[in-house]
């Protein structure tokens, strides 16, 4: 199953929906792409057969970032409208997904491409992938939401280095400092992405939804509030069929069959 878009591709295979940025050669990001991306996320999230979403890029890159030519003559007002779409609406949509989302990265991921990738739950990249934040140099502006994301992922001092120098780093280094989940050989990226998506999709959709929601709900809570929130949420799951199936399968030493109920 697929849906036609102008700047992205949407494909459904089994329990996985793959959204591919498709503006060759470098899939640079503009308003149309963001509107289509949000639409595709909604379709995938509302499809009961989909359990995992994958974001990737066509051709030789995830994306070179925001289309600077598209915004060359834009002022503050025009950029405000785009940033509201790109940061606020996009991040709200991804954070509110009921299903896990994985970024599969090859080639370059720059600036806005890193935003799209790092708001995903996991990032798998091939050995040639590189990540960078060139906004200070290329746009003459702060590097967007990266000032929030990057320091939480790698620590304040390393984040300052990455953002202030605008120098890209390779996938191996990105994995070492905790910026991405996993680096794999170039020729195995699609296979490894599929394997990771399949592994996640084999879990209970109910448990995945609750767990993902908890990840982001407790992010800025104090410990006591977080403990109570997690405990309350975990208890609720015990009334779902998937939870009973998981317990039965564990005791009976068989593979559980989850139905998302």
Strand partners, 104: 124
Task: Compute the residue count for the chain.
Answer: 261
Residue 80 banded pLDDT, cuts 50, 70, 90: confident
HSE, CB side, 13 Å, CA atoms: give it for residue 171: 20
Alpha helices in the chain (DSSP H): 31-46, 76-83, 90-95, 112-118, 135-138, 146-154, 156-165, 171-176, 189-201, 205-217, 223-237, 241-252
Q: How many CB atoms lie within 10 A of CB 249?
A: 14
pLDDT at 149: 83
Question: What is the token pair recorded at 199?
Answer: 């592994």
140-163: pLDDT as tens digits = 888 777 788 899 889 999 999 999
The C-alpha atoms of residue 208 and residue 201 are separated, in whole angstroms, by: 9
Strand partners, 21: 8, 57
pLDDT at 136: 83
175-189: pLDDT as tens digits = 999 999 999 999 999
Q: Which of 150, 54, 68 is nearest to 100 (CA)?
A: 54
pLDDT exceeds cutoff 60 at 48: yes
Average pLDDT, the chain: 92
Question: Are 68 and 26 in contact, with CB atoms under 8 Å apart?
Answer: no
CA angle 40, 52, 184 (to 5 degrees): 110
pLDDT at 261: 85
pLDDT exceeds cutoff 70 at 1: no
pLDDT exceeds cutoff 70 at 30: yes
pLDDT exceeds cutoff 60 at 254: yes
What does DSSP say about strands 108-110 and 169-170: parallel, antiparallel, or unpaired?
Answer: unpaired
pLDDT exceeds cutoff 70 at 2: no
Query: In the chain, what are the domains?
Result: 2-201 (3.90.226.10), 205-252 (1.10.12)
pLDDT exceeds cutoff 90 at 131: yes
Helix (H, G, I), strand (E, B) or coil at 96: coil
Residue 85: alpha-carbon gap to chain centroid: 16
Say which range, 76-80, 227-231, 234-238, 242-246, has the weakest mean pLDDT.
76-80
The C-alpha atoms of residue 199 and residue 134 are separated, in whole angstroms, by: 35
When pLDDT is averaged across residues 249-255 and rounded to a whole number, the result is 91
When pLDDT is averaged across residues 217-239 and rounded to a whole number, the result is 90
């Amino acid at each position: 199953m697929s849906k036609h878009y102008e700047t992205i591709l949407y494909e459904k295979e089994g329990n996985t929906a793959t959204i591919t940025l498709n503006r060759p050669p470098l899939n640079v990001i503009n308003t149309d792409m963001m509107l289509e991306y949000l639409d595709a996320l909604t379709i995938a999230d509302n499809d009961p057969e989909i359990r995992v979403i994958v974001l990737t890029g066509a051709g030789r890159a995830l994306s070179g970032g925001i289309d600077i030519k598209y915004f060359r003559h834009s002022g503050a007002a025009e950029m405000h409208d785009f940033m509201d779409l790109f940061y606020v609406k996009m991040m709200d949509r991804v954070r509110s997904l009921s299903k896990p989302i994985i970024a599969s990265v090859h080639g370059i991921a720059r600036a806005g491409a890193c935003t799209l990738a790092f708001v995903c739950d996991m990032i798998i990249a091939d050995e040639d992938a590189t990540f960078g934040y060139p906004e200070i140099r290329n746009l003459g502006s702060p590097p967007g939401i990266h000032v929030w994301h990057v320091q939480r992922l790698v620590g304040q001092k390393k984040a300052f280095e990455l953002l202030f120098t605008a120098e890209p780093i390779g996938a191996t280094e990105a994995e070492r400092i905790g910026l991405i989940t996993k680096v794999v050989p170039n020729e195995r990226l699609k296979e490894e992405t599929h394997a990771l998506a399949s592994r996640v999709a084999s879990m209970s959709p109910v448990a995945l939804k609750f767990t993902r929601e908890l990840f982001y709900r407790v992010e800025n809570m104090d410990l006591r509030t977080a403990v109570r929130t997690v405990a309350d949420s975990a208890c609720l799951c015990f009334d779902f069929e998937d939870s009973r199936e998981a317990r039965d399968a564990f005791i009976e030493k068989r593979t559980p069959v989850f139905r998302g109920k």
